[in-house]
């Protein structure tokens, strides 16, 4: 991985290149459609955070398991997977409640005893910096930085990370919107297919709308197939599928 371009003078002076940092982020994180790519976001973040070696984004959605939706490589996914299984760790705390979670040395940190003991042995990660992302609604997310050296992250890492978190949040929001839109469109297509099949059965079987829908459900249960698959076959053939021939 290419090392960060922030030099020693920038470290001493704080953040003299804030303007160029925002300009680079705006240019590099926007794709052709004008949205923000979470994979580009974590790749750029890992390069710009002075002491980060790896980066990933954790997403928590209602009634769903935590997921790492973007990572620079396999290490963040390994670390995050361990947190998800044990239900403890910096990524989860940052995404769920705390705005910033900083672990100087996981070999000594006892805030997450099960996680800390295993992550050092299994991945070699010693330092972590996690920041909550400002996503809307009931979704929660965090951007996480990892290093194999203890006490790796300092105040400059935190300040640059806070800037990067704004763009990472845009990436998460954009992908959630695309995913929810795709799910809504799929649901609408399914409803249209079922509605068409109900109309066909009403005409061919001379039954009411409710009875036609019940015929679809009965065929779905009897054949152990999805309701939308039965509806699609009715749409194509004009009749309910029968049981498979022996």
Residues 6+ apart with CB under 8 A from 72: 1, 42, 43, 46, 54, 55, 56
162 and 205 both lie in a single domain: no
3-state secondary structure of 193: helix
139 and 120 both lie in a single domain: yes
Residues 6+ apart with CB under 8 A from 119: 79, 82, 89, 106, 125
Over 70: is that where the pLDDT of 22 sits?
no
Q: Which domain holds residue 218?
A: 182-237
The mean per-residue pLDDT over the stretch 209-237 comes to 85
Over 80: is that where the pLDDT of 184 sits?
no
Residue 88: inside a domain: yes
Q: Which residue has the higher pLDDT, 233 or 155?
A: 155
Over 90: is that where the pLDDT of 104 sits?
yes
Over 60: is that where the pLDDT of 10 sits?
no
21 and 116 both lie in a single domain: yes
The mean per-residue pLDDT over the stretch 103-118 comes to 95
Q: What is the pLDDT of residue 5?
A: 43
- Rounded to the nearest integer, the mean pLDDT of the chain is 82
Q: What is the pLDDT of residue 137?
A: 82
Residue 131: inside a domain: yes
Domains in the chain: how many in total? 2
Q: Band of the pLDDT at 21, cuts 50, 70, 90?
A: low
Q: What is the pLDDT of residue 9?
A: 46
Q: Which residue has the higher pLDDT, 228 or 94?
A: 94
Residue 246: inside a domain: no
Q: What is the pLDDT of residue 1?
A: 41
Q: What is the pLDDT of residue 135?
A: 85
Using one digit for the tens of pLDDT, what is the confidence trace for 38-76? 787 888 888 888 899 999 999 998 888 999 999 999 999
Residue 232: inside a domain: yes
129 and 52 both lie in a single domain: yes
Q: Which residue has the higher pLDDT, 22 or 15?
A: 22
Q: Where are the alpha helices (DSSP H) in 5-141?
A: 8-13, 18-29, 38-48, 74-86, 90-96, 113-123
The mean per-residue pLDDT over the stretch 23-37 comes to 55
42 and 104 both lie in a single domain: yes
33 and 131 both lie in a single domain: yes
148 and 108 both lie in a single domain: yes
Boundary residue ending a domain (145, 176, 207): 176
Q: What is the pLDDT of residue 79?
A: 96
Span of 24-28, 125-129, 173-177, 179-183 with lowest mean pLDDT:
24-28
Over 70: is that where the pLDDT of 28 sits?
no
189 and 159 both lie in a single domain: no
User: Could you give the count of Cα atoms lying within 13 Å of 229 in the half-sphere of its Cβ?
Assistant: 10
In whole angstroms, what is the distance from residue 228 CA to residue 188 CA? 11
Boundary residue ending a domain (133, 148, 176): 176
CATH number, domain containing residue 195: 1.10.10.10
34 and 140 both lie in a single domain: yes
Boundary residue ending a domain (143, 160, 176): 176
25 and 103 both lie in a single domain: yes
In whole angstroms, what is the distance from residue 48 CA to residue 45 CA? 5
162 and 217 both lie in a single domain: no
Q: What is the pLDDT of residue 109?
A: 94
Residue 2: inside a domain: no
124 and 106 both lie in a single domain: yes
CATH number, domain containing residue 155: 3.30.450.40
Q: What is the pLDDT of residue 190?
A: 78
Residue 230: inside a domain: yes
Over 80: is that where the pLDDT of 23 sits?
no
């Amino acid at each position: 991985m290419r090392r960060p371009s922030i030099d020693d003078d920038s470290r001493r002076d704080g953040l003299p290149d804030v303007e160029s940092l925002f300009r680079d982020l705006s240019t590099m994180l926007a794709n052709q459609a004008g949205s923000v790519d979470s994979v580009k976001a974590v790749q750029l973040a890992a390069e710009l955070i002075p002491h980060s070696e790896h980066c990933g984004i954790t997403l928590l959605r209602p009634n769903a398991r935590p997921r790492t939706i973007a990572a620079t490589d396999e290490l963040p996914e390994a670390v995050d997977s361990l947190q998800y299984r044990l239900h403890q760790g910096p990524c989860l705390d940052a995404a769920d409640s705390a705005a910033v979670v900083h672990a100087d040395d996981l070999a000594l940190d006892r805030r997450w005893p099960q996680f800390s003991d295993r992550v050092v042995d299994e991945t070699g990660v010693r330092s972590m910096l996690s920041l909550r992302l400002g996503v809307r609604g009931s979704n929660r997310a965090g951007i996480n930085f990892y290093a194999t050296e203890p006490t790796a992250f300092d105040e400059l890492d935190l300040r640059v990370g806070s800037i990067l978190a704004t763009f990472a949040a845009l990436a998460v929001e954009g992908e959630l919107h695309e995913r929810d839109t795709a799910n809504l469109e799929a649901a609408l297509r399914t409803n249209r297919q079922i509605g068409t099949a109900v109309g066909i059965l009403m005409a061919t079987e001379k039954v009411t709308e409710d009875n036609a829908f019940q015929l679809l459900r009965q065929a779905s249960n009897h054949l152990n197939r999805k309701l939308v698959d039965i509806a699609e076959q009715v749409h194509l053939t004009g009749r309910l599928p029968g049981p498979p021939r022996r």
